[in-house]
A and B are shown apart, each in its own frame.
Chain A
Amino acid sequence: MEVMQKRTVFPVVFLRNAFLQPETSGLIMFGILFGITAFLQKNFFETKSIVRTINSCAPLVLLAMGQAVVVISGGIDLSSGAALSLFTCILTTVMKQNDPITGVYALLVTFLVALGTGMINGLGIGYLRIPPVIVTFATSYAWLGIALFLRPTPGGESVPWFRVFYNMRVVEGIPETLRVFGTYIPPALLLIIGACLLWYLVSKTRVGRYIYAVGSNIESAYVSGINTGKTQMFACLINAICIFLAALFFVGQNQTGDARMGGPLTLRSIAAVVVGGIALAGGRGSVYMAIVGALILNFVGRIIFFANIPNAYQTLVSGIIVIAAIAGPAYATLKRELH
């Protein structure tokens, strides 16, 4: 009887279920905001404007993807913004403006440091089993401290060719084909595609499945013979690589390092993950939806800008958006459970 009833109202039920899926509502929200932004910003579809949009949200997108991997594995990373600042400080400290080869050293050193930060977070979350929130809270201050040692005030120098990570056209001495390629696909997009490719490859392996399994129920994952510590460590390493890519973009864009620039991005990356429909409890959601979440936050920021809200209110509005973004779905589930 019940089955019959369901079948008769199939389209309605299907639509309602589809809407209640966090991912669909995220996509719908994205569509609406995309429309509003495109309407408000007259030259939205010009090439230059699209490139600017991509550049403005690239760091957040990369951080949100890394955050998403950690959240799916059952953790959370409060140190991602501080880690981003730390990497920019290391990059600009190792590099010397007149010595192009130092750029390569900087890349190597920072990549190793990135893996190190990921391993320390992974050690705390995965092996020592300390609550992820508090481990990464502690490490965020450690990263801030190291970054302040290297760069008490914003500054530093960078080799000229580092601009390839921001805009290939202004770099001299690179092959013409690469330059033409760079004019069509902005480097920021390439970095994001790189991160997507990394996650795509990982998600096709056993470890990708383990990450979901550990996040959704760590006890049963452990009993099933999954090395939970290793899996969470791996998630933290992927996160670190994503943050590293964001740092490359930031230094390419600004040519400087700043020990305090990343702080506000931490909460925004968590918000992007939540808006993208990834459960903070872990084990559910898609990493690619974190990109959508980051774009939504970016568009909201633009709409606020177009609405002529003074800059001083930005923090207030973004805080309210985060609360609304996580409270909305929670309220919906609560209501559904009560019924």
Chain B
Amino acid sequence: METLLKRAIFWRKWVVPTKYRQILTILVLIVLLYIGGGTVVPGFLSLEQVLLTLKLAAFIALFGLCQMIVIVAGGSGLDLSVGYMATLTAVLTASVMDGRNEYLWLALLIAFALGALVGLANGVLTSYLRLPPLVVTLAMADILQGIVNAYVAGKAITGRPSPILVILSARLTGVFPNILYVLIPVAFVATLVFQKTKWGQILFGVGANERTAYLCGINVRKVRCLTFVASSILASLIGLLLLGNMGIAFKDMGSNYVMPSIAAVVVGGVPLSGGGGNYLGVILGSVFLQALTNLLTALGLGDAGKWLGFGIILFAMLSIYASNRQRR
């Protein structure tokens, strides 16, 4: 019996390399979810429904990239301000663009500058003053929300996104959502940067072992500070895409993405201690979470079921990874 088990473990290594086991686990989870959903809810397996899920999941996956960059660099980094960063950018740029393409460059510039500013504030506070990232970014989310509230209090939010943004994020080509044309290159570039470039090596090195990275001459603080800048700039740009998808800007448009973005990263197998993980896993994690949300909505459980489900799944995944870590 024991030898049989040993042999099974031996063969498992060859059939599924360790590197891809995590991704395979999520794929199996997604398939199970779809089989379960397909039997309970008619039409859950239709092509349109699946593609719609992918479209909504793309936004979670993009926010997941922000989160992943910060988490991979370690130091218990998390960025809870991404949702309000996106909201703020969307609210401020809507009136600049006002449904025209001419001012898209200005909107992009504003998004970039705002993101860099907020990210720099997050980064300096967390890595140079050594404050807990969670509290800083949570307070930053409050500040950004406060700015949005103050802006909204004076006047109504006016303006519409430029047509290019609408085409990019809201429209479909046939049945294929255009946002995937954004996500696929982003995923490709992110994976390339993470795995093939020096920056990726430094990022993962800092997360895996801070001390070793420091002794190798890497400025750990600067790297961690820059991850927050990158995260905020990305979140700010996603704010433009969100605006394109929704057509109008409103107060809470981005805040609902904070929890899913972290959950997607955890479900996608990125260790919260940093230094590991794969963006493909994060994308699959987003698809899983979005499919779950759709299923719960179809079952009539709505918001309550969504948040409860996300909470339980995040807790369960964390427990599983924690027990794996202890066994080693």
Contacts and interface: CB of A to CB of B under 8 A. Distances in A.
> Is this pair of chains taken from one and the same complex?
yes
Contacts of B233: none
B171 interface: no
A160 interface: no
Interface stretch (B149-157, B172-180, B197-205): B149-157
Contact of A128 (B131, B145, B312, B318): B318
B131 A326 contact: yes
B311 A140 contact: yes
**Which of A76, A146, A312, A327 has the most chain B CB within a 10 Å cutoff?**
A312
Contact of B308 (A129, A149, A317, A318): A149
A312 B155 CA distance: 12
Contacts of A270: 135, 138
Given A148-B304, A270-B135, A319 B146 contact: yes
Given A145-B311, A326-B131, A327-B125, A130 B305 contact: no
Contacts of B322: 128-130
B129 A142 contact: no
B149 A315 contact: yes
B307 A144 contact: yes
A133 B304 contact: no
Contacts of B102: none
Interface string A125-155: 0001111011101111111111111001000
Contact of A330 (B129, B259, B273, B305): B129
Contacts of B159: none
A313 B152 CA distance: 11
Contacts of B304: 145-149, 152
Contact of A323 (B76, B140, B310): B140
Contact of A267 (B138, B147, B150): B138
B145 A331 contact: no
Contacts of A135: 315, 318
A323 B125 contact: yes
B149 A124 contact: no
Contacts of A124: 315, 318-319
A267 B142 contact: yes
Contacts of A326: 131, 135-136, 139
B303 interface: yes
Nearest to A128: B322
B96 interface: no
Interface size class of A (residues with CB under 8 A): 35 or more
Interface SS of B by simple majority? helix
A238 interface: no
A334 to B, nearest CB: 6
B143 interface: yes
Interface string A115-127: 0000010001000
Interface in B102-159: 125, 128-132, 134-136, 138-143, 145-147, 149-150, 152-153
A280 interface: yes
B323 interface: yes
A296 B99 CA distance: 46
A319 B134 contact: no
A41 to B, nearest CB: 24
Contacts of A152: 302-304
B147 A134 contact: no
B213 to A, nearest CB: 20
Contacts of B129: 327, 330-331, 334
Centre residue among A133, A310, A330, A331 by max chain B CB count within 10 A: A133
Interface in B292-321: 302-312, 314-315, 318-319
B262 interface: yes
A145 B309 contact: yes
B315 A139 contact: yes
Given A135-B315, A139-B315, A141-B314, A148 B143 contact: no
Contacts of A280: 132, 135
B152 A312 contact: yes
Contacts of B72: none
A137 B141 CA distance: 15
A97 B306 CA distance: 31
Interface string A235-253: 0000000000000000000
A178 to B, nearest CB: 39
Contacts of A271: 139
Interface in A28-75: none
Interface string A289-322: 0000000000000000000001111111111101
Contacts of A140: 311
A133 B315 contact: no
Nearest to A259: B304
A70 to B, nearest CB: 14
9 contacts: A133-B134, A140-B311, A141-B311, A142-B312, A145-B308, A145-B311, A149-B308, A152-B303, A322-B142
Interface of B: 76, 78, 125, 128-132, 134-136, 138-143, 145-147, 149-150, 152-153, 259, 262-263, 266, 272-273, 302-312, 314-315, 318-319, 322-323, 326
10 smallest A-B Cβ distances: which pairs? A316-B146, A145-B308, A142-B311, A319-B142, A312-B153, A148-B304, A141-B311, A319-B143, A315-B146, A145-B307
Given A145-B303, A331-B129, 14 more contacts: A76-B132, A124-B315, A130-B272, A134-B272, A140-B311, A142-B307, A145-B306, A148-B307, A312-B153, A315-B142, A316-B149, A322-B135, A323-B136, A330-B130
